[in-house]
């Protein structure tokens, strides 16, 4: 589902439309410019593809443009999402990072960047509301897995 987007606004009065996207690339290296990696000289940039990303409507992002990166934990991604991406995203300046664990009970750990480190905002299951850039975002975590077979 590359490039899937769902538009929303940063706040009711905001004119800037941002999108929730899946399978979009984030260039974590601060030297990256929007001209793209094809013109990159020297060491290639670090690129990550979060499960869900919130930022301006496009498919490639500089880390500074990303409002929220979401990782959905799986057996093969737990260490990468909890350790590697956690530190890479903080170092790149991504303001919000969420980890969703689909193991029962489905839970969300939401982090907010304070200085150069993430601080845990909440770790909950059930229905969770988290403030992202002044906008409350509510997620029914149980609904994420309600259609899955037991």
The CATH number covering residue 56 comes to 3.90.1570.10
Query: Does 39 map to a domain?
Result: no
The range of the structural domain enclosing residue 94 comes to: 5-31+44-144
Torsion sign over Cα 4, 24, 93, 107? positive
Cα–Cα dist 142/90, whole Å: 28
Dist. CA 77–CA 74, nearest whole Å? 5
Count of domains in the chain? Answer: 1
Q: What is the pTM of this model?
A: 0.75
In a domain, 12, yes or no: yes
Kindly state whether residue 150 falls inside one of the protein's structural domains.
no
User: What does the pLDDT profile of the chain (150 residues) look like in tens digits?
Assistant: 333 333 333 444 343 444 555 566 677 765 555 444 455 566 667 778 788 788 777 767 788 888 899 999 988 889 999 999 999 999 999 999 999 998 889 999 999 999 999 999 999 999 999 988 888 888 888 888 776 555
149 part of a folded domain: no
Residue 73: C-alpha distances to residues 36, 37, 51, 90 (Å): 29, 28, 9, 18
Strands 47-48, 5-9: pairing kind? unpaired
> Both tokens of residue 6?
């769902």
Q: Which pairing describes strands 68-73 and 52-56: parallel, antiparallel, or unpaired?
A: antiparallel
Tell me the C-alpha to C-alpha distance, in Å, between residue 87 and each of 62, 65, 70, 71, 83: 16, 17, 14, 13, 6
Integer Cα distance of 105 and 107 in angstroms: 6
Q: Which residues pair with 109 in a beta bridge?
A: 99, 123
| Inter-residue contact 48 to 70 (CB < 8 Å) | no
Residue 17 lies in a domain: yes
Please report how many Cα atoms fall inside a 13 Å half-sphere around the Cα of residue 31, on the Cβ side: 9
pLDDT number for residue 98: 95
């Amino acid at each position: 589902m590359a490039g899937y987007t769902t538009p929303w606004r940063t706040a009711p009065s905001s004119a800037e439309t941002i999108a929730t996207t899946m399978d979009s690339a984030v260039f974590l290296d601060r030297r990256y410019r929007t001209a793209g990696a094809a013109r990159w000289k020297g060491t290639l940039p670090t690129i990550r593809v979060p499960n869900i990303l919130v930022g301006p409507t496009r498919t490639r992002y500089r880390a500074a443009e990303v409002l929220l990166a979401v990782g959905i934990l799986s057996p093969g991604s737990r260490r990468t999402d909890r350790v590697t991406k956690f530190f890479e995203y903080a170092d790149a300046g991504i303001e919000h990072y969420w980890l969703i664990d689909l193991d029962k009970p489905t839970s969300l750990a939401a982090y907010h960047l304070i200085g150069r480190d993430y601080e845990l905002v909440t770790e909950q299951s059930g229905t969770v509301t988290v403030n992202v850039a002044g906008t409350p975002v509510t997620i029914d975590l149980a609904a994420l897995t309600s259609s899955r077979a037991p």
